[in-house]
Structure 1
Amino acid sequence: MLDRKEVLRYLGCRTENALLERMAVQAEKLVLQAAAPVHVFRRTAIRVEDDTTHVGTTALVSRDLAAHLNGCREVYLLALTLGPGIDRLIRRSEVADPPMVPVLQACAAVYTEFCADEIQKSLEAQAGRCGLYLRPRYSPGYGDFSLENQRFFFDSLEITKRIGVFLTDSFLMIPCKSITAVLGLSEKGTQCHVGKCMSCKLNKCPFRK
């Protein structure tokens, strides 16, 4: 079952709402039926210099990404999608049941994060067996890491060929519930972790909930 509180948070609901909760129960069932999660990842060497992360012959210019990967010599590149069924479900609801659309969107977003978290746990276990620590996910669109960098992920992971996700001219992904991310591998642990947001002083950190 999806985290119901997280679904309601995506909907901007901060108090008990019986109607939204009933809709969320129904939407969750529909999303889980329609979704077909698939992913692809690759481990690769990197070199961080100033505000640039070098991955092979590609230079990713982002001060925030470089700071996040400081101390890392390798990363995992990751792409994940819930598949086209979610898009079809939302299109049908736009005609048949418009009020359900934002609830479906919220449930699909939470399920996307759940799937990504499960993959991250698996990669973290792999890293641990090598004596390494895994940094949290960092995606295009976070901080100054431009969405234009989506093209790098698509080329590096052959995303369209391998999991059927397409990139638009405005760097949005189709199916819509798809993500790309980089996860740093470090020889030392890091204090930046999604579970410690409430005690963290970095108010602009993209991992803050």
Structure 2
Amino acid sequence: MFEQELTYQDLHIPSSEIYEAMGYKDSIPDPMVIEETHTLLKRVIPRLRPRYTFFLTEGTVDTEKESLHTHDTVFSIGKTIARQLRGSEAFAFFAATAGIEFEEFQHTLQQEGDMVKIYIADSLGSVIAEKTADCMEVALAEYIQSKNWKHTNRYSPGYCGWHVSEQQKLFPLFPVTSPCGIRLTDSSLMIPIKSVSGVIGVGTDVRKLEYTCGLCTYENCYRKRKHQ
């Protein structure tokens, strides 16, 4: 299993992505929002410890049954993901998180009762978690380079027809109980909330494609919002 702790600077997050996560895709934020964002970043950056982990394992995809089989576990991943993972020679299961330190910071803001800062932090946490997962993909690409393998997009329970309850099957596969300090509730919610987990296909004949958002029926997916 490969695990890495990062800094905020490692994530290379432009301010525009934070504002886009807040809903400012085609407009400029109010100056007050910009000032509050900068103030919040100064407070949170010194305490941030985002991290990711992944491990590779054997498995097979059954496109007819829309399932992924690895060891004694069978995931019902849905048609979209099954098609994207077919041809994989192995699978990387991963977890990435903005960290418990960020969640503690959110709790501090909630106690202060400043709704603007709470909203900005919520958007920032989502961006941090996804950027951490992006760093994980870069590390994975380097990890499999010696085998001349490529990798697919990453897919998570709760998206593209893969039910979120299958987190309960995914987390026991990790060699440690709480990968990157993430724990799973009975309702399949990850704690810290600003965390990402899922699977990536790797192999000689796979590739990373544009996300097929047009085929997905989940309207609240962050990737669909980014492509609208």
Report the AA paired with residue 34 of structure 1.
Answer: R
Equivalent residue in structure 1 for 2:81, among 49, 65, 83: 65
1:150 equivalent in alignment to 2:161? no
Q: Which amino acid aligns with 1:30?
A: R
Distance in 2 (alpha carbons) for counterparts of 1:73 and 1:189: 9
Per-residue deviation, residues 151-198 of structure 1 (Å, max 9, x unmatched): 12210114544432111121111111111121110312436136xxxx
What secondary structure sits across from 1:72 in the alignment? Answer: coil
2:56 aligned to which of 38, 43, 46: 43
Segments of 5+ residues of structure 1 without an aligned counterpart are 195-199
Identity of paired residues, percent?
23
| 1:15 counterpart residue number | 27
Stretch moving more, 183-192 or 90-99: 183-192
Structure 1 range deviating more: 150-159 or 134-143: 150-159
CA displacement 1:49-80 (0-9 Å, x = unmatched) = 12111011111112232112011121110012
Question: Match for residue 4 of structure 2?
Answer: none
What is the alpha-carbon distance in structure 2 between the residues aligned to residue 180 and residue 159 of structure 1? 14
Q: Is there any run of 5+ residues in structure 2 with no aligned partner, and where? A: 1-11
Query: Could you tell me which of 97, 103, 127 is aligned with 1:110?
Result: 127
* 2-structure distance, mates of 1:28, 1:6: 14
* Preserved contact between residue 95 and residue 197 of structure 2 (Cα < 8 Å): yes
1:27 maps to which residue? 40
Per mean C-alpha deviation after superposition, the further-off stretch among 79-88 and 47-56 is 79-88
TM-score (norm 1): 0.88
Aligned residue pairs, count: 203
- Distance apart, 1:145 and its partner CA: 0.5
Q: CA deviation at 1:204?
A: 3.8
Are the aligned partners of 1:40 and 1:157 in contact in 2 as well (CA < 8 Å)?
A: no
Matches of 1:8 and 1:182, distance apart in 2: 28
TM-score relative to the length of structure 2:
0.81
Q: Post-superposition shift, 1:3?
A: 1.9
Runs of 4+ in structure 1 off by over 6 angstroms are none
Q: What are the residue-to-residue correspondences of 1:120-131 with 2, within 5 Å? A: 120-131=137-148
Residue identity matched to 2:152? R
